Structure 1
Amino acid sequence: MIRMSWARAASVEETLALWAASLREIKQRIRPLFTQERVATNAGLFLEGLLGDEQRKTGWMRAEAAGDPGPWRQQAILGRGDWDADALRDIVHDYVIEHLADDDAVLVIDETGFLKQGKASCGVARQYTGSAGKITNCQIGVFAAYVSRHGHAFIDRALYLPKEWTDDPDRLEATYVPADVDFATKPKLATRMIARAIAASVPFKWVAGDTVYGVGNIEQQLRRAAKGYVLGVSSAHVFRSWGKRPPVAGTAADLARTRRSSDWKRLSAGAGTKGPRLHDWCYLELADLEAEQSYSANDGLWTRGLLIRRRIADDDLAFFTTWCPAGTAIETLVAVEGHRWAIEDSFETAKNEFGLDHNESRSWHGWHRHVSLVMLAFAMMAAIRHRANPPPPKKTKRRPPAKAKT
């Protein structure tokens, strides 16, 4: 049942024992969510089905793995019963931080698509999804992943509802959308996730996201909270410097064209499946600012900047707005941007191995329950991987030996 590739350093026996102990612990953690023992038992069997070797995690497949004659008990976990998916999300969040916490961690925000047929599934619409690379009939989920040197896992999620849904009370009622849910853009959903992480004192230093999340109030929110960021922006995004020489002003694309060959530096954004992910990078410091005094940790100068990535193969450009403590090296910003790869890897793994996109429920709570259970399964395996493959200790600067007294 366990995928041994998730834990290469430990022996098979050690990993199986760790897996069994972790599953028992997880079931104990989620038990208070359910008022009836049989429902808690079925939730545990649902979780085991997600962790199993079956390629498809449909209700029938999970039922067969659980020894049930049909999918009804599995489906009831998502569609019937009375339990709180947000409470499960909070359990996942606590579990991830307990096992993977690091002060230098990056919170990565991204979205993924869930391809669907028909119009009945909550939030489904013809909309663009990077999962398919086109506009298609799908749901969109916005996620926050916690990425540290110990590993990575999802800690938050939200189903995006297009305006055609929030403007249609009948569709909302048919899919049991709570009455207090209204239209929220994807950046707005992201700000809520970031706010929850900050309120819960999650240890992280940075936030990274693509061009969807480089707009709106996210920048201001992170500045107030003393968090650095590397957020994608479009080529038309306007940047201006002040207090820097020489002054610069213009769109991101215009500024990229003015860069000299010597301004670029070839750096790796992290290890990929085929080795280092090398690109050419350029960093422009635009302004040094006294950070807002909302948080005591915000003392000192912070730098507003523009980070540009150029693909080696075809010179394709990508642009990022940045905010970081003054003196932060370009290598650090590149590494933060490279952490976005972890959430893309997480989406692929969660879909291929844990059935993230195999949800058959059409309701609001069904989507959030299924996704939260998958997040829990993913978090458990991420914790096992960390415990079976501990990272090397952080490097510390060595002090020069003291000179002998004469």
Structure 2
Amino acid sequence: MLLRIGHRFGRVDLRRRMRDYVRGLLGPVGRKNGWQLAEYVGHDVPAGLQHLLNRARWDPDEVRDDLQEYVAERLGEPDGVLIIDETGFLKKGTTSAGVQRQYSGTAGRTENCQVAVFAAYASTRGRTLVDRQLYLPKSWTSDRDRCRSAGVPDGLAFATKTELARHLVTRALASPLPIAWVTADALYGQDWHFRRMLEEAGLGYVVAVPKSQQVKSLAGCWRIDQLISDAPDDSWERLSCGDGAKGPRVYDWAAAMLPAVPFFEGDEPSHRRWVLARRSIARPDEIAYYLAYAATGTTVNQLVTVAGSRWAIECCFQSAKNECGLDQYEVRRYPGWYRHITLAMLAHAFLAAMAAANITERGAAETDLSSSPSAWRRSAGSWQLAALEQVTASAHSTPWGGPASVGATRPPPNAVTTNAAPDVTNSGTMTDSQLATLENKPLTSRNSELQLEY
């Protein structure tokens, strides 16, 4: 992999420092800061590695492009899912680019931190981070002197997190990554600009939304929690949305297809919108809500699987921080942040590709992202919202159209197991034997993907 990106670093000494930095991120280093990384890779002082991040001439966006090409080759599948989420980086002081007191999902409270929006790619072959965008609050973008001191480009204006997410999707679509779906949490899902952009790009999506989300159709307008509360008991089905740390993640799910709008979608629309709800089995009052958009003929089980794939980016954050030092940087300036984060993502992508290769070598069978559906799912036998003319004048009318016999045709609730992607979370850093090929100088391209030829 380093051979692929070597040309992005103009000089031999710079390529070697990049190689050493990534090797340190992959190695068994307790705290992956400058001094400990330098000691691990055999440098007397961390000045060379710090120069790589702060002053050397190379473009982290070009390396990101190479990373996406690498991920497409190693993990790409036609039904690949792009996952959008943010994570926080706790910091002290006020000089690190974008830092301020703001909510951090990492800490679960308001802290002095940096926040960045990330994109991860997931398929049955693996999952890894593929893009990043540092969030700059208005307190930063309105203070140009402060921005210049931190190396923030003069032309960079304030952008919300949802706007950053749209930038990530746009870049991913321009990359070699094969993407069929997008999923995100409610911060992004409730933004109609974000959803409309995905629809115009022809991407399917399953995005979380708050319970107050308004759902509009020809039959009327409801809050999504009120709509779901009117769902018949037999519209809920017990399904697994994928394997988690403790086995299959099984919930009760209800789905309803929204009626098509011929004026906008034509007489025979190619895609349909859905509402989806996930209910905890142990605590039935805990319900999560989703809006979805998918090609006609998409099954409920496929939507559930895509919804469950959002968990993959949390695994990526955990493993990238624990194993690749994603959050263990000591840079304060804007360019240095992108350089460290990009190289940490590169290390994480290598681990994900190595895990996928190990499974392939063991002869593991590869399947589609969605499990093989039953007959009623193939025929889209979900509950469908009634069109306007089907809604009665009764005050008790609900949008859950169709005869009661539709629910009676469903099989009894059961857990459907889906194939999980190879997990690099908590797999530990690379062992000495795995890193052995990286110790030789000069490196050759014959022994390891992580080797460079000078």
- SS across alignment from 1:81: coil
Q: 1:33·1:83 contact (CA, 8 Å) conserved in 2? A: yes
Q: Which residue of 1 aligns with 2:412?
A: none
In structure 2, the gaps of 5 or more residues are 373-454
Q: Which amino acid aligns with 2:322?
A: N
- How many residue pairs get aligned? The number is 363
3-state secondary structure, aligned to 1:197: helix
| 1:22-37 matched pairs, under 5 angstroms | 26-37=1-12
Q: Distance in 2 between matches of 1:30 and 1:60?
A: 25
Question: Which residue type is aligned with residue 63 of structure 1?
Answer: A
**Superposed displacement of residue 289, structure 1:** 4.9
**Letter in structure 2 aligned against 1:323:** Y
Equivalent position amino acid for 1:321 in 2: L
Within the candidate set 24, 35, 53, 2:28 is matched to 53
Question: Counterpart in 2 of 1:10?
Answer: none
Q: Which runs of 5+ in 1 are unaligned?
A: 1-25, 294-298, 398-406
Q: Name the counterpart of 2:246.
A: 274
Contact residue 145 and residue 153 of structure 1 kept, 8 A: yes
One-letter code of the match for 1:284?
A
CA RMSD of aligned residues (A): 1.8
3-state SS of paired residue (1:287): coil
Letter in 1 for 2:139: E
- Aligned-partner Cα distance in 1 for 2:263–2:180: 15
Match of 1:111 in 2: 86
Residue equivalent to 1:256: 228
Letter paired with 1:277: R
- Give the Å deviation of 1:292: 7.6
Tell me which amino acid in the other structure corresponds to 1:303.
R
* Matches of 1:59 and 1:87, distance apart in 2: 24
| 1:66 corresponds to | 41
Give the alignment of 1:386-397 within 5 angstroms.
386-390=356-360, 391-394=364-367
**For residue 76 of structure 2, what is the aligned residue in structure 1?**
101
Paired residues of 2:69 and 2:175 also in contact (CA < 8 A): no
| Cα displacement (A) at 1:248 | 5.3
Shift of 1:70: 1.7
Q: Please say if residues 239 and 252 of structure 1, whose CA atoms lie closer than 8 Å, have aligned partners that are also in contact.
A: yes
Confirm or deny that 1:287 pairs with 2:272. no
* Identical-residue share of aligned pairs (%): 41
Partners of 2:47 and 2:345 in 1: how far apart? Answer: 22
Q: Contact conserved, 2:118 with 2:133, CA < 8 A, in 1?
A: yes
Distance in structure 2 (CA, Å) of the matches to 1:74 and 1:291: 59
SS at match of 1:384: helix
C-alpha distance in structure 1 between counterparts of 2:297 and 2:255, whole Å: 12
Aligned position for 1:6: none
Work out whether residues 68 and 176 of structure 2, in 8 Å CA contact, stay in contact via their aligned partners in 1: no
Instruction: Report the equivalent of 2:330.
Output: 360
**Distance between the aligned counterparts of 1:394 and 1:270, measured in 2?**
13
CA deviations 1:72-105 (Å, max 9, x no partner) are: 1111111111111111111111110111110011
Structure 1 distance, partners of 2:241, 2:257, is: 20
Distance 1:289 1:150, change over 3 A: farther
Where 1:288 maps in the other structure, the secondary structure is coil
Provide the C-alpha distance between the structure 2 equivalents of 1:241 and 1:196, rounded to a whole number of angstroms.
Answer: 32
* Residue of structure 2 equivalent to 1:226: 202
Partners of 1:200 and 1:90 in 2: CA distance: 7
The one-character-per-residue Cα deviations of 1:227-249 (angstroms, maximum 9, x if unpaired) are 1000111111100222xxxx353
Q: Distance in 2 between matches of 1:173 and 1:357?
A: 23
Q: Matches of 1:324 and 1:392 in 2, distance apart? A: 27
Partner of 1:369: 339
Q: Which residue among 153, 158, 164 is the counterpart of 2:128?
A: 153
Letter of the 1:343 partner, please give it: I
Match of 1:235 among 211, 224, 233: 211
Counterparts of 2:248 and 2:339 in 1: how far apart (Å)?
37
1:175 aligned residue: 150
2:237 to 255, 265, 268: 265
Structure 1 residues 387 and 283: alpha-carbon distance in aligned structure 2, compared to 1, 3 A threshold: same
Give distance in 2, aligned partners of 1:119 and 1:262.
55
Letter matched to residue 226 of structure 1 = G
